[in-house]
Amino acid sequence: MRPLLLVLLALLLLAPLFLPPFYITLLNFVAFGSLVALGLYLLTGMAGMTSFGQAAFMGLAAYATALLTTKMGLSPWLTLPIGLLFAGVGALVLGGLTVRLKGHYLPLSTIAWQMALFIVLGSWTALTGGHTGLPDLPAVSIMGFSFRTEDSFYYLSWAFALLAAWGAANLTGSRVGRALRALRGDAVAAASFGVHPPSLKLQVFLLAALLAGLAGWLYAHFLRFVNPSPFGLEASIKYLIMAVVGGIGSIPGVFLGASLITGLEEWLKDILPKVFGRTGNYEVIAYGLVLVVILILAPRGLWPFLERYLPHPTPRRPQGMGLPARQVQGLEVPKGEVILEVERLSKAFGGLLAVCDLSFQLRRGEVLGLIGPNGAGKSTCFNLITGVHAPTKGQVRFKGQAISGLAPFTVHEKGIGRTFQHPHLFPEMTVLENAALGTYARTRAGMLSCLLGTNRREEAAALSEAYRALERVGLAELAHHKAGGLALGQQRLLEIARALASSPEVLLLDEPAAGLRAAEKLELARLIRRLAAEGITVLLVDHDMDLVMGLVDRVVVMHYGEKLAEGTPREVQKNPKVIEAYLGQEVA
């Protein structure tokens, strides 16, 4: 992989020596397209959002630099941050309004935003020069050297494009990258491990807009002329097509797509008027068809077809120390202190009272079983504790602090880890990456640090911590396989490993043994005992009475949302009400 990359870089570096100017101009456009499409890779390929308004962000930055350099005589290097600021503010407003809404609101509002900005650029003639545009932008120069020719500008645009690709690659493998990919798959699971979905979505939308803005600034100073037409909806779609055609899930795919579409565009401009015999905007038919056909026949783009022939790097086992242990206030606190308290909790879904006036206490260091027939409200109770649902009435307290009604990511950060009854894993990510999501709330690196790769040490520690969690549940050999290929029992173990990687004080296990074979159940029981011995407090929901009764210190029995009984396994097993609920009323 690496030698290939070096050869490509060398070719790129030497291209102006052997390619005629026409192709160098095209390659400049490839670089601009790649920058915008890289933003879409982050936005769509990773976070599963999309935008039909990237060209508008380009336009904002391009017009900002055009106006400020020509009318106020500012240096292009000064207008670059100003242009980015414009694009950024636009993205923050548009994103801020839509990131909390369902997935399709953002793309739809970007269409509207794109149309509106385009109209303003074309109509506000006094400022923007209307459709005639603004001519005579100054050339970019560094210390007296001016990037006037397409050859010199070529190095400038590709320097930015490669820098952006490097940043995107750093981000992909990082903590934030994992969180973004998790968001696309399952926002509830991501939030349960400390990811704040709206904030992260807004950040990535902003980042994509900034990349587009950078492309807009380059575009303006390359042509040294701006007019509205390259910043319309059609252009936005063109960039989306670039990303989709190459493969929106990979960085090389983005460059592949940008090259192919830029080339296709030139070719179509030559060929189409001959086909239709009159001039007109016929490229759009081809664009649309390319997009539709690729999406239907090769939804992951063309890059995966090439990737097959490339050598795969062998994944390495993460080395080194894990993360520092969670700072638990006073581990010396005696076992038996109340750590989690559920008080008169009720939850109604419409007319259905799923949990009704439920109270129980979880003491530090114990394993508490929560059992009950199907539909008794056990999973709802879990979701109330972890913040997925807000209770209708009542309170949950963690170490004396009310946590009910808080968002899942806040609850998680306080030290509560959970598994899901139906595994909420990310099938496209490796087993190790899935487990590493558990360390999200224990690590700090932000978007910027992940982009620049300054979080290496923390990242290595996080991966090693995740690997250790995999070792504890016995999944280490599968660390580099995709989670989508795991059997159900393995998926449950991975759920537990992910929760362990978050180093929880309280671990909530929602039916961890369902679907496990007998031997796997024994293994699971041993694991839970070991965790309890290490001082982790466990709340366990399961149906398997042998497992639960042999494992737990105390049991709470739920029936139709209410607490039926509470006590040691022995007491509960003798309780006539429990026997009735499970076996039915004795016929007299």
Partner 1 sequence: MDWTIFSFLLADGLQNGTIYALLALCLVLVFAVTRVILVPLGELLMFAPLSYALLLQGQFPGTAWLSAAMLVAWALLDRNRLRLALALLLLAGVVLGLAYWGSHGAPGWVAWLLAVLIVLPMGPATYRLFFEPLPHGTVLVYLILAVGLHFVYQGLGLVFFGPEQYRPPALLSGEASLGTVPLPRQVFVVYAFAFLAMLGLYLFFTRSLYGKALRACAVNRLGARISGINPSEAGRVAFLLATAIAAVSGMLIAPLVNAAYFMGFLLGLKGFVAGILGGLISYPMAVGGALVVGLLESYSSFTASAYKEAIVFALLLPVLFWRSLRTLELGGEEE
Binding site for partner 1 (CB under 8 A): 44, 48-50, 52, 93-94, 97-109, 111-113, 115-117, 119-120, 123, 183, 186-188, 191, 197-198, 201, 234, 237, 240-241, 244, 276, 280-285, 287-292, 295-296, 299, 388, 407-408
Name which of 254 and 432 has its Cβ closer to partner 1.
254
Rg (CA), the chain: 29
Instruction: In angstroms, give the least distance from the CB of 8 to partner 1.
Output: 29
Residue number, 98 or 491, with CB nearest to partner 1: 98
Q: How far is the CB of 118 from partner 1 (least distance, A)?
A: 9
The nearest distance, CB 403 to partner 1, in angstroms, is 16
| Distance set, CA 4 to CA 1, 10, 173, 514, 518 (Å) | 5, 10, 21, 48, 50
Whether residue 184 contacts residue 46, with contact meaning beta carbons closer than 8 Å, is answered with yes
With both helix axes pointing from N to C terminus, report the angle between 2-18 and 150-172 in degrees, rounded to the nearest 10: 160
Task: Check residue 511 and give left, alpha or beta (phi > 0: left; psi -120 to 50: alpha).
Answer: left
Reading the block at residue 343, the tokens are 């008080």
Nearer to partner 1, 101 or 163 (CB): 101
Question: Among residues 258 and 469, whose Cβ is nearest to partner 1?
Answer: 258
Q: For tokens 């993205």, what's the residue? A: 91
- Looking at the Cβ atoms of 407 and 448, the one nearer to partner 1 is 407
Of residues 187 and 206, the one with the C-beta less far from partner 1:
187
Alpha helices in 99-174 (DSSP H): 105-123, 125-128, 150-172
Angle, alpha carbons 197-202-204 (nearest 5°): 95
Which is closer to partner 1, CB of 100 or CB of 517?
100
Where does residue 433 fall: left (phi above 0), alpha (psi -120 to 50 degrees), or beta otherwise? alpha
120 vs 302, which CB is nearer to partner 1? 120
CB of 382 to partner 1, least distance (A): 16
For residues 563 and 265, give the distance between their C-alpha atoms in angstroms, rounded to a whole number: 68
Which whole-number Å values give the CA distances from 515 to 37, 122, 372, 481, 496, in the listed order? Answer: 43, 62, 18, 21, 15
Nearer CB in complex with partner 1: 106/447: 106
CB of 285 vs partner 1, minimal distance in Å: 3
Residue closer to partner 1 (CB basis): 102 or 316: 102
Say how many CA atoms lie within 13 Å of 471 toward its Cβ. 10
Smallest distance, partner 1 to C-beta of residue 101, A: 6
Cβ 277 vs Cβ 266: under 8 Å: no
The pairing of strands 145-146 and 338-349 is unpaired
Closest approach, Cβ 124 to partner 1, in A, equals 8
* Residue 272 beta carbon to partner 1: minimum distance, rounded to whole angstroms: 10
Nearest CB to partner 1, comparing residues 16 and 90: 90
Give CA angle at 211 (210, 216), nearest 5°.
Answer: 90
CB of 401 to partner 1, least distance (A): 22
Residue 185: C-alpha distances to residues 107, 175, 199, 344, 416 (Å): 18, 16, 17, 34, 22
**Least distance CB 479 / partner 1 (angstroms):** 27
Q: Sign of the C-alpha dihedral, residues 328, 329, 334, 335?
A: negative
In the complex, what is the shortest distance from the CB of residue 46 to partner 1, in angstroms, rounded to a whole number? 13
Distance CA 107, CA 121 (A): 21
CA–CA dist 438, 494 (Å, integer)? 10
Residue type for position 468 = R
